[in-house]
Amino acid sequence: MGRRSLRRDLFAIAGIAVAFVVALLLVESAYYRLILTLVVIWATMGLAWNMLSGYGGLISFGHAAFFGLGAYTATLAMVQFDITPWLGIPMGVLVGMLAGVLIGLATFRLRGHYFALSMLAYPLAMLYVFEWLGYQEVVLPMKRENPAAYMQFSDPRVHALLGLGLMVLALLASLAVERTRFGMALLAIKQNEAAAEAAGIDTWRWKMPAIILSAGFAAAAGGLYAVVLLVVTPPTVFGVLVSAQALIVCLFGGVGILWGPVIGAAILVPLAEILHGELGHVIPGIQGVVYGVAIIVIILLAPEGIYWRLRDRFFRAAPMVPDAVPVATAEAAVTPMRSHRPLLVLEGVSRSFGGLRAVDNVSLTVEEGAIHGIIGPNGAGKTTLFNVINGFLKPNGGSIRFDGKDIVGLKPNRVCRAGVGRTFQIVRVFPRMTVLENVVSGAYVATTDDREAERLALRAIDTAGLSRAEAAQVASGLTMRQLRLLELARALAGQPKLLLLDEILAGLGHAELEEVIEAIRRVARGGTTVLIIEHTMHAMVRLAERFSVLDHGALIADGKPLDVTRDPAVIEAYLGKKWVQRAADRVA
């Protein structure tokens, strides 16, 4: 994303607008004009859905809630207070946005399917509320005098143009989202919310504006829909079909791209109408069957929508990565003076899951500039300890001080901002983004300037040892080595003081292992403190200058690698009692 030129996109939007106006002028029949109007309204609705669910991956089955509120606000304002829709629709937008805030507050704590299903509930609840309030059928009164002041035009083409204006606004808003860190943050949330948090993206802070923006446009579409239809009933604006329509035009046209909903609406709305008009009275109901089959076929042939299919097929442009090497900081040359200052201090940290003490009273100091290894057999509590440090889990007791500050209870993105980056045992990258984009998303913590973020990202990619060609690849096709280095670079791009590496060496072949070890050394030489988890002693002995050994959640040894590997408790934990004796014999 974000690699298309802005001018070209604006050009395409203008092209669509001109094509629409030309079509509108060519069309004689009021019926086709009505269909054109509905196309732009549903395209706007699809764009609104796309802002939250397409970019952010927070699938909403309930956008009818915002649509309906927009429709009812505009309608009731006119019916009860004689307020023109010119004001009523903006009022509806405000109401929709407010609903977005409330729904977001209540629902964002849920993820995935749970989020989608709870969103389904809102419009259904509102449907019954509005029926109960006695608004089963509300009619926008016909204004015979001064109709234009009430958005009632003798020439219905004005409605189509208003809809076009709204759609262009929605397209511009989508463009703004796509091309800034807003879109990048949403895309990161969509692909892996936990990784986004750990990369310093405050997911809450980005999801909120996304739902507010999305709700606003959905409400505007609803308001205009009411003005065009002139009759508002709860099922027509809060019904499941409304939410489904928003979703379908996106899925059909292309998810997560601003052209998608426009393509979807431009094809599906007229198609449904033509089928209805041509077949509806011949074989009643057959139009629904044909429409459904058409959608199923498209989804099978182009699972992410027509746009992506066409793009992948015909316009697969290689993403551009700037060749200009950023100021290659001579990191190797500068070996900072070791201060031996404690950077991370854990005191009596514990974390239990039920009766299991996964981390048991661990006290540990990581010195600035060190490569500090935490080793221990499988299930020793190493990853849990990391999760406690970076904020995924809250400790049951103890204190964690980083750089002199208490970081217990901070959210992961806050811990990241404080200067703690991390990688994951199970690789968590953003598969649809390129390597560079992945890394840029990690750089956003360090800077508010998007150009600077890209510069930092490129430097991190260099430090990690990935090539420029690799930087342009899409993350979904990477090898394990590349994935590990990518995670390293992404964590590094945020300019952390401390980097938590969770089994970064797992699953690597011998040559790859050497490469990653070298990369970690480069990181440390650059002045970043590294805390690394590994369960294979072998590689760690060469890498770390200090070892802490965990077993059953408790710290059983802490010191220089050589001393630790001779510690009988460590040998017992790894190999069993029998080996303790043998090791002792050998020493003797």
Partner 1 sequence: MLKVRLRSVLTAALAAAVLLSVVTAAPAEAQPKEVKVAVIAPLSGPWARQGQLMQMGAEMAIDEINEKGGIKALGGAKMKLILVDAGDTAEKAKNAAQRVLAQEPDLVGGTGAWLSSFTLAVTEITERAGVPMLTLSYSDAITERGFKYVFQTSPTGGTQARAALPTILEMAQKATGKKPKTVGIIMDNTAAPVSFAKPMREGGLQKLGLELVVDEVFTPPLADATALVQKVRRAKPDIMLLLPTSVPDDKLILEKFNEFKLGQGRIPLIANGAHIGSPELLKNVGPQLLEGLMFIVANWGVKGQEAIIERFVKRTGEPWITQDSMTAYGDMWILKEALERAGAADSKKVAEEIRKLDLKEGPAALAFPGGVKFEPNGRRAGAHLVIVQWQKGKAVTVYPAELAVAEPIWPKQ
Interface with partner 1 by CB under 8 A: which residues?
Answer: 4-5, 8-9, 11-12, 15-16, 18-20, 22-23, 26-27, 29-32, 34-36, 38-39, 131-132, 134, 136-137, 139, 141-142, 144, 225, 229-231, 233, 235-236, 239, 241, 259, 262-263, 266-267, 270, 273-274, 276-278, 280-281, 284-285, 287-288, 311, 314-315, 317
Residue 547's Cβ-side half-sphere holds a number of Cα atoms within 13 Å equal to 26
C-alpha 38/C-alpha 274 separation (Å) is 13
Write out the H or E segment, with its range, that includes residue 585: helix 577-587
Asked if 343 and 366 touch (Cβ cutoff 8 Å), the reply is yes
10 Å CB burial of residue 146 (0-12, 13-18, 19+) is exposed
Shortest Cβ 463–partner 1 spacing (Å): 32
In this structure, how many other beta carbons lie within 10 angstroms of the beta carbon of residue 35?
18
Closer by beta carbon to partner 1, 30 or else 125: 30
**Cα 217 → chain centroid:** 20
561's CB contacts (< 8 A; 6+ apart) are: 373, 540, 541, 544, 545, 546, 547
C-alpha 36/C-alpha 509 separation (Å) is 59
Closer by beta carbon to partner 1, 120 or else 229: 229
C-alpha 28/C-alpha 23 separation (Å) is 10
C-alpha 557/C-alpha 267 separation (Å) is 67
Collapse the DSSP code of 367 into the 3-class scheme (helix H, G, I; strand E, B; otherwise coil) and give the result. Answer: strand
Closer by beta carbon to partner 1, 235 or else 465: 235
Using CA of residue 519, residue 525, residue 527, residue 531, what is the dihedral sign?
positive
Shortest Cβ 236–partner 1 spacing (Å): 5
Shortest Cβ 50–partner 1 spacing (Å): 16
Shortest Cβ 477–partner 1 spacing (Å): 22
Shortest Cβ 51–partner 1 spacing (Å): 19
Closer by beta carbon to partner 1, 40 or else 119: 40
Closer by beta carbon to partner 1, 295 or else 556: 295
C-alpha 176/C-alpha 279 separation (Å) is 42
Shortest Cβ 303–partner 1 spacing (Å): 20
Shortest Cβ 138–partner 1 spacing (Å): 8
Closer by beta carbon to partner 1, 194 or else 275: 275
Closer by beta carbon to partner 1, 298 or else 443: 298
Shortest Cβ 284–partner 1 spacing (Å): 4
Closer by beta carbon to partner 1, 135 or else 574: 135
C-alpha 170/C-alpha 49 separation (Å) is 11
For residue 471, which amino acid is it?
A
Shortest Cβ 282–partner 1 spacing (Å): 9
Shortest Cβ 446–partner 1 spacing (Å): 32
* Location of structure tokens 């901070």: 410
Asked if 51 and 174 touch (Cβ cutoff 8 Å), the reply is yes
Shortest Cβ 134–partner 1 spacing (Å): 7
Shortest Cβ 314–partner 1 spacing (Å): 8
Closer by beta carbon to partner 1, 11 or else 353: 11
- 419 Rama class: left (phi>0) / alpha (psi -120 to 50) / beta: left
Closer by beta carbon to partner 1, 68 or else 395: 68
Closer by beta carbon to partner 1, 72 or else 259: 259
Closer by beta carbon to partner 1, 259 or else 424: 259
Task: Provide the 8-state DSSP code for 148.
Answer: G
- What would the two tokens of residue 209 be? 């504006």
How would you list the strands of the sheet with 371-375, edge to edge?
420-422, 498-502, 529-534, 371-375, 546-551, 554-559
Shortest Cβ 468–partner 1 spacing (Å): 20
Closer by beta carbon to partner 1, 258 or else 400: 258
DSSP-H helix ranges across 230-320: 234-238, 240-253, 259-279, 286-301, 306-314
Closer by beta carbon to partner 1, 142 or else 562: 142
Shortest Cβ 59–partner 1 spacing (Å): 23
Q: What are phi and psi of 349, to 5 degrees?
A: -80, 130
C-alpha 451/C-alpha 463 separation (Å) is 19
Write out the H or E segment, with its range, that includes residue 333: none
In three state form, how does the secondary structure of 412-443 look?
HHHHHHHCEEECCCCCCCCCCCEHHHHHHHHH
Q: Which of 457, 535, 485, 425 is nearest to 198 (CA)?
A: 425
Residue 21's Cβ-side half-sphere holds a number of Cα atoms within 13 Å equal to 9
